[in-house]
Amino acid sequence: MNNIKKEKPKIRNWSGYVTKHSFALDLEEGVFTWAEPRKIAASLKRSAEASRQRKGTPFQSAMSMLNFYINRAGKNLKPARKRILEQVKTELRKLFKT
């Protein structure tokens, strides 16, 4: 018998893969590059409410996708862009009334 375990192929950029192939939310093109936090939040809310693939509530899905993007960008995210995306969190809370 052969006791050698076959390893799964490793995806080098798993976050990029998740962004491209995730069915959790169907995001509008370039949503995280927009300048208005309220507009970004509204788009995330629409996407989360329309999704049938999510595991949590629409609020959890929208916030999770936003945090995923912020964390994925990491040190490459410019301070001005990070401020806008952090403001999106506040707008999401207002839209979902949490």
Domain count, the chain: 1
pLDDT one-digit tens code per residue, 18-56: 666 665 688 888 999 999 999 999 999 999 999 888 888
Residue 66 within a domain: yes
Contact 37, 95 (CB under 8 A): no
Residue 71 within a domain: yes
Residue 32 within a domain: no
Residue 64 within a domain: yes
pLDDT one-digit tens code per residue, 58-90: 999 999 999 999 998 888 999 999 999 999 999
Expressed as residue numbers, the domain containing 98 is 58-98
User: What six digits make up the tokens of 49?
Assistant: 């409410």
pTM: 0.77
For 23-54, the DSSP string reads -S--PPTTGGG-S-HHHHHHHHHHHHHH-SS-
